[in-house]
Amino acid sequence: MEHYDIIIAGGGMAGLSLAFYLSRSPLRSRSILLVDRERKEKNDRTWCYWERGDGPFEAIVYRKWRAIDFYGTSFSGSLDLGDYQYKMLRGIDFYRFMHEELQKLPNLDVRFGEITHLEDLEQGGMVVVGGKPIVAPVVFDSTYRLPQSTPRTHNLLQHFKGWVITTERDCFDPNRPRVMDFRVEQQEDCRFLYVLPFNKRQALVEYTIFNEQVLASEAYEDSLRQYIDRFLEAGSYRIEETEFGIIPMSDVAVSENPSQHIVRIGTSGGYTKPSTGYTFQRTQRYLQELVASMETTNQVPVRKQPGFPKWFKQALDSVLLNVLQNKRHPADDVFTKLFQRNPPERVFRFMDEDTSFLEDLQIVNSMPKGPFAMAVFDLIRQRALHL
């Protein structure tokens, strides 16, 4: 049986980011194994996030903007982001950067193959790859799939398809991305477009849906074509790249430390914000906390969980999911009021869970009162019935 000090199960965004932070800590001397299904050599996804100042991946940020355009039900216009920048990171740039950085780790092994088994044993966490068991005192697992049918929880999917297109005409403003453009048929769901321009003739156009059912591929493509024809003066255009993704939006309780030697990370560890699907920045923050904990204690790391503020923010996520899942109020109008009645910086702080309790109350006060009150009562009723 092979042995390592640390095993990272899964080499996606969370697994690679963890290896990156380990490489910049005193833990870099440990023997580390990173296991992934296959080598990542395609531009298969895009991460967008907001940030103050420069972050750890500034060298590979593909585009960044200080203002965004929003199109809602009763409010549309440009939003100045203040101290924040909206940043775009391409998957292929992230993978190349990570693999170049991790090559500098003298004690890192990367193995490609399917993890067929993951278990906590007395002597450590064990993964089985290619029929071979491998053990380490700590296994960081990003392969665990969140349950999507747990009673008394809310479970939506954020699913999206995007095209990088090159157009016949100048039709994009490189300084103005469109974020959450709701000028499309909602079909009683939450449906919107992103338009992230690279230059005047090239952009990522992405169709995003919050609901419970993934569509056939043709449905996304039809909606993308309709949007481009209706809202972009593109002329003819060529599809350069395609991306597709599914992100769970769930308030199911997730244990980051399900057993003695296993730590779940990324979406598997509940790092995705349930009400929005945003994952990238929370993952970076939480992983840095794990590495700091491991440096200090020299044991399997446990992230310190905040008290009441964290609980209150989780409750707000459940309320919003209840509104969306039960269609208590049109989703496009919910997000319109969020941006119309709050400064963009407050919205971003709220999504990053950096807001104060007073700011949380200001966010709550900006929402439609009746539908959200119904959601609160429904949540209280559900909890009371199952005490």
For 219-256, give the DSSP string: HHHHHHHHHHHHH----SEEEEEEEEEEEEEE-----S
d(CA 136, CA 115): 15
- Residue 246: its pLDDT value, please? 94
Indicate the pairing of strand 237-250 with strand 6-9.
unpaired
At residue 178, the 3 state secondary structure works out as: strand
Class of domain 2-67+81-146+253-297: alpha beta
- Residue 383: its pLDDT value, please? 72
At residue 60, the 3 state secondary structure works out as: helix
Task: Give me 87's structure tokens.
Answer: 């940043």
Contacts of 161 (CB under 8 A, 6+ apart): 206, 207, 217, 220, 221, 224, 242, 243, 244
Radius of gyration of the chain (CA): 22
- Tens digits of per-residue pLDDT, 32-52? 999 999 988 889 899 999 999
Residue with tokens 């993704």: 245
Is 3.40.50.1100 the CATH number for 155-249?
no
Q: Which of 233, 88, 85 is nearest to 173 (CA)?
A: 233
Q: Which of 315, 311, 294 is nearest to 303 (CA)?
A: 294
- Residue 332: its pLDDT value, please? 97
- Tens digits of per-residue pLDDT, 133-182? 999 999 999 999 988 777 778 999 999 999 999 999 999 999 999 999 99
- Residue 234 is given by DSSP the state -
Q: Would you say how long the chain is, in residues?
A: 387
The pLDDT of 92-119, averaged and rounded, is 93
Q: What is the mean pLDDT of the chain?
A: 93
pLDDT at 308 over 70: no
At residue 361, the 3 state secondary structure works out as: helix
